[in-house]
Structure 1
Amino acid sequence: MDWYENVLETIDLRSFSNMWYWIALAVTWSTASHWVLGVPFDMVGRARRNGGQAAQDLEDLVRINVNRIVMTVDDAGIWLAAIGPMILSALMWSGFRYGVELAQAVFLLAFPMSLVGLLALRAARQIQKGAISGPDLWRKLTRHRFWVQVIGLVSIFVTALWGMFQNMSYQALG
């Protein structure tokens, strides 16, 4: 039994004191910021600098991904609109009402990512409807990335504050 307690003390299984949770949080927001509507953001810079084939490649990839996003939402939108909030509500309720730390951690990651998903859908519909291309497309993708980064920054800040509060509360009780 002593060995088991030593292992559990070494590997803290609580979410907010687990290094892997914070790595996953950083990787999630880094990835969300880099892949704008499914397109790596460095392609936007390359299209701006070089134009020509780089700009055409960007427009083609954006068109493919925008069509894919819009089609997915058109096909499964009702289910996404029903199941998504239900899962988020269950996570929020079990996490913050009943104190399940894993549910809190997942909610603090999933809720802002759902906002990013809604933002991406809005941008995809605008690009598709307006047939945006060239410098207007580059500005749209850059603006979208900016708002994803703002959501990510706020999310990381709130998660860090909540995580510190949870860890300090756990240490005060323990």
Structure 2
Amino acid sequence: MDWYDTVFELIDMRSFSNLWFWIALAVTWSSASHWVLGVPWDMAIRARKGQNAQAMTDFEDMVRININRLLYLVQESGLLMAGITAFLMTTLVLLGFVYDSEFAQALFLLGFPLLLVWGLSIRLAQRIASRGWTGVALIKRVQTHRLVIQVIGMLSIFVTAMWGMYQNMNANILG
């Protein structure tokens, strides 16, 4: 067996039967629920405990910095990003579900739910900026957003697992 075969055996393009895909899926959703609006969740926990005022100030500052960054990015290049993302998602749908590319299916099932999270994060950032939430109210909104991210992640993992099992059963039956 040569080097080329070894690499492609390790990085199998049949994604749903590949351990690396499932590790990447788990790490992606774990990271998405830990970094809410770009702020690590442990900062929210420390601020929520309320043992020192500095923790709350740090949390509010991190949220403010990240939502300002996010809103600037959306304002300056949001339309371009939306167009490119729509093109990429359409390409993945066509390659994956029309032309039956399992790799494109896997990328779509990983990326589409993250787009939902991205959209909800932008919406929350706009609401925080316009309403000026601080303190406990801010923590409550971020905590609710984290819960929504976790629900989307669980549904995404479930749907991906079901589709992956279906694809693996078809591959075993047909091939």
TM-score class, shorter: over 0.9
Structure 1 residue 55 and structure 2 residue 66: aligned?
no
Deviations 1:70-108 (A, max 9, x none): 000000011012111111011011100110011000000
Matched with 2:105 is 104
Measured after TM superposition, the shift of residue 140 of structure 1 is 0.5
Q: Aligned letter for 1:140?
A: R
Alignment CA distance shift 1:81-1:12 (3 Å): closer
Alignment CA distance shift 1:42-1:97 (3 Å): same
Q: 2-side partners of 1:39 and 1:82: how far apart?
A: 27
Matched with 1:18 is 18
Q: 1-side partners of 2:52 and 2:100: how far apart?
A: 53
Q: What percent of counterpart residues are identical?
A: 53
SS for the counterpart of 2:160 is helix
Deviations 1:91-127 (A, max 9, x none): 0111001100110000000100011000100010011
Q: Aligned letter for 1:169?
A: N
SS for the counterpart of 2:15 is coil
Unpaired runs of 5+ residues, structure 1, are none
- The TM-score normalised by the length of structure 2 is 0.93
Alignment CA distance shift 1:34-1:9 (3 Å): closer
Measured after TM superposition, the shift of residue 9 of structure 1 is 6.8
Unpaired runs of 5+ residues, structure 2, are none
Alignment CA distance shift 1:135-1:2 (3 Å): closer
- The TM-score normalised by the length of structure 1 is 0.94
Measured after TM superposition, the shift of residue 13 of structure 1 is 3.7
SS for the counterpart of 1:115 is helix
Matched with 2:33 is 33
Matches for 1:145-164 after TM superposition, within 5 Å: 145-164=146-165
Q: 1-side partners of 2:98 and 2:151: how far apart?
A: 28
Q: 2-side partners of 1:19 and 1:82: how far apart?
A: 32
Matches for 1:67-78 after TM superposition, within 5 Å: 67-78=68-79
Matched with 1:124 is 125
- State the number of aligned residues: 174
Structure 1 residue 92 and structure 2 residue 93: aligned?
yes
Q: 1-side partners of 2:74 and 2:162: how far apart?
A: 34
Alignment CA distance shift 1:8-1:31 (3 Å): closer
Q: Aligned letter for 2:144?
A: R
